[in-house]
Structure 1
Amino acid sequence: MKAISYRHYGGPDVLEYGEVRDPKVGPDQVLVKVRAAAVNPVDWKCREGHLDAVLDAVFPVIPGWDVSGVVVRPGAAVTEFAAGDEVIGYCREDFLSRGTFAEYVAAPVRTLARKPRTLSFEEAAGLPLAGLTAYQVLVGALEVGRGETLLVHAAAGGVGSLAVQIAAHLGARVIGTASESNHAYVRGLGGEPVTYGEGLAGRVRGLAPQGVDAVFDTVGGDTLKTSANLLAPEGRLASIADPEVVGYGGRYCFVRPDPEDLAELVRLAEAGVVSVHVQESFPLERTADAHRLNQEGRTRGKIVVTVDRESEEGAAGAAG
C-alpha cells in the first residue's frame, strides 16, 4: 500500500511517500480504508523525536493518529464493527510505527467510533484527537459547569475551537484568545475573543474583573503565569502544552483514546453542537507540506490529508 513514512527523526524532509507492507490485522484490531487523516502538532513533535523518552519508535514509522474511513475487515475478536461501516478514530498505540497517513490502517477497536453522519470524511478526521483533548480536559480535569467563566487559549486552533464549542454547550461563558483576524470566527463558535500578546491580562480582566473560574491552556510558557494570575479564588488551571503547569497548582493533561468519549463527540456533532473547520486539505503525497503548515502554529481549525480511493482490486488484496 501507499503511505507516508520516515526512517529516522528529523524535519519534514524525512517524510517519504511510497510503498510499505500492508498492515496485519490482529484479533482486537479493525482494518480501515483511510479516507482522511488530520494533522496534529504531536505528529511533527513525534517526527522530530520529542516524544522519544516515552514512545519507542519502530522504524520506518508511519505517522498520524487521527483517521476517518471505512471498515474493510474487523479482527477475529471484534464485534462492534462490520465491513462497510464508516468510522473515526484516535489510533494511538504506546509506540510509533503504524499510523494513519496511509491507504490502510489496522486500528485498535478501543480507538474507534462510528463516523458522524453530519460531517464529511475530511471534517470527521479532525474530530478525534482534538475533540477528545477538549472534552477530557473540560469534563474531567477542569469540570467546567454552567454559569462559570472559562478562558481558552488559542481559541481558533484545532483543540481550542472545539473547546469553545463544548464549553458553551456545557453552559459556560467562554473567553478565547485569538488573533484579530480570527475574532469573528471565535464569536461564531460561541466565545468572546480577546487578542493575545502584551496586555492580555488587562483585556481579560476587563471582561472578567473577578477573575475566571478555569483556564484551558494550549500554549504553555509565559502564558501559564499569566493564566494563574487571572484565576478567581478556587479557580482551576489545566495545560496540554506544558507540564510546568503543576508548579502553578494546575494539571497537565495528555489525551487518551476512549470509545465512550469519542461516541459522545459523535453525538454532539450530529446534534449540531460541534463542528470542525478544515483550513486546508492536502493529498497524501504532500503530507510534508501539511506538516510544515501545521508547524507554523497559525492554523484555524484543522489541516487534513486526504487519501484517494483505491481500485477494487487493491482493496480486495488488502482485505484478503
Structure 2
Amino acid sequence: MLAIMQTNFNGIDDLTAQSVSKPKLTADSVIVKMNTVPVSPTDWKLESDQHATNENLAQLPRIIGIQGAGLVVEVGENRDQHLLNQRVLVINPAGTYSEYVRSTNPDWLFPLPDAVSNEAAAALSASTALTLKKFIDSSDADNLILTGANSVIGLTLLQLLHGESKPIYPVVTAESLAYFNTQMPNLTAYTSDQLPKLTGKTLILDTVGIVGLLETLVTHTTNASVTSIVIMKDPGLPNFKFIHDDFNADDYRLFIQQLATGELKPLINRTFPIAETKKAQHFAKETHSRGRVLVAF
C-alpha cells in the first residue's frame, strides 16, 4: 500500500511516497481504508525537528499524520462488528498518511453521522480551541484579545465563544481582515496597531507565537496576562502561561455532533491529492490561513 514516509529531519521536501505492507487485522483492531487526512503545523515541525514532540514520534522512519477520516473495511473478533462499512474519524499516532490504518484503541475511533463529511471530520481541530475556551471560562478577565483570530483554531474558538459576555478583540494581519470579516461578520477584527486602549484585566490568548506582537498588544492594556498555546517558555511577558490540550474522547464525540447539527462549522481551504502531499504542506505553511488544508486518497 502507499504511505507518505518521513525518513530524516530535513523538512518537507525529503518526504517520500513508499510502498509498505498493509497492516494485518488482529482480534482487537479494525482496519480503516483512509479517505481524507489534514495538514497540520505539527507535520512540518516534526519533519524538521526531532525535539518538537515526544520520543515516539521522533523514531524514524515513520508514516506521517495523526488523524483522518475513512471507511472501516475489516473488524477484529473482539471489536464491535457494527463498525464494518462505517465511516469514521480515526486518531492514530502511528500515522494516517497511508492507504490503510490499523486502529487498536476504541477511544480513538469515532463513527461519523451522514451529516458529517469525511472532509469536515478530517478538518476538525476543536480540541485546542476547547482548551482555550475552558481557560477563558475560569478567567476573571474583563477583556479578551485573540491573536491569529483568522486561523482554524482562532475561528473555531470564536464559534465556541458565541455566547461569551466578555468583550472580544480578534487580532489579525491587514491581509486577513477581509477573510475574517466573511467568516465572522458580527465581530470586529483589529490589526495590532488598531487595537484600542483597554482598561481592567485583559487576557491575551496567543495562537501565533510572535513575541513582538504580544509585546505590542500588552502596551494597549493596563493589566494584561498572556496565555499561549505556542510559546512554551516565558519570554518575559506579564503573567505568562503556556497551556496545551489533552486528548478527550468525549470532546471529540461532542465536536462531531456539533458538526452534524451545524453548531460547529468546518473550516476548509483546499484539498490536494496524496501524490501532492509536499505541495500541500508548503501551501499550508507559506500562505495566509484560510481554513484547513486537506490531502485525499
TM-score range, shorter chain: 0.7 to 0.9
Q: 1:172-222 CA deviation, whole Å, 9 max, x = no partner?
A: 543222233432432333532112xxxx1x52225xx32564322111222
State the partner residue of 1:134.
129
State the partner residue of 1:160.
154
Structure (1/2) with the larger helix percentage: 1
Runs (5+) with no aligned partner, structure 1? 93-97, 308-320
State the partner residue of 1:113.
110
Matched, 1:183 2:177: yes
Letter of the 1:136 counterpart: T
Match of 2:207 among 218, 228, 235: 218
Cα 1:169/1:44, change in 2 over 3 Å: farther
State the partner residue of 1:205.
196
Cα 1:237/1:261, change in 2 over 3 Å: farther
Structure 1 CA distance, aligned partners of 2:164 and 2:31?
35
CA contact (8 A) 1:145 1:170 kept: no
State the partner residue of 1:311.
none
Letter of the 1:295 counterpart: K
Letter of the 1:167 counterpart: L
Q: 1:223-247 CA deviation, whole Å, 9 max, x = no partner?
A: 33345555664x6532111112485
State the partner residue of 1:19.
19
Identity value in percent: 23
CA contact (8 A) 2:141 2:202 kept: no
State the partner residue of 1:263.
253
Letter of the 1:242 counterpart: I
Structure 2 CA distance, aligned partners of 1:74 and 1:230?
57
What TM-score comes out, normalization by structure 2 length? 0.84
Indicate the larger mover: 257-266 or 107-116.
107-116
Deviation of 1:73 after TM superposition, in Å, equals 3.2
Cα 1:172/1:165, change in 2 over 3 Å: farther
CA contact (8 A) 1:147 1:171 kept: no
Structure 1 CA distance, aligned partners of 2:149 and 2:291?
9
Aligned-residue RMSD, C-alpha: 2.9
What TM-score comes out, normalization by structure 1 length? 0.79
Matched, 1:49 2:38: no
Deviation of 1:24 after TM superposition, in Å, equals 4.1
Q: Secondary structure at the match of 1:156?
A: coil
CA contact (8 A) 1:114 1:266 kept: no
Figure out how many residues of one structure are paired with residues of the other and give that number. 291
State the partner residue of 2:7.
7
CA contact (8 A) 1:144 1:172 kept: no
CA contact (8 A) 2:229 2:242 kept: yes
Deviation of 1:166 after TM superposition, in Å, equals 1.3
Letter of the 1:305 counterpart: V
Cα 1:117/1:177, change in 2 over 3 Å: farther
State the partner residue of 1:61.
62
State the partner residue of 1:274.
264
Runs (5+) with no aligned partner, structure 2? none
Cα 1:247/1:283, change in 2 over 3 Å: same
Q: Secondary structure at the match of 1:261?
A: helix
Matched, 1:150 2:147: no
Q: 1:97-137 CA deviation, whole Å, 9 max, x = no partner?
A: x211111222333233233543431222110xx21111122
Matched, 1:71 2:62: no
Indicate the larger mover: 298-307 or 107-116.
107-116
Matched, 1:301 2:291: yes
Q: Secondary structure at the match of 1:70?
A: strand
Indicate the larger mover: 52-61 or 215-224.
52-61
Indicate the larger mover: 7-16 or 224-233.
224-233
Deviation of 1:170 after TM superposition, in Å, equals 4.6
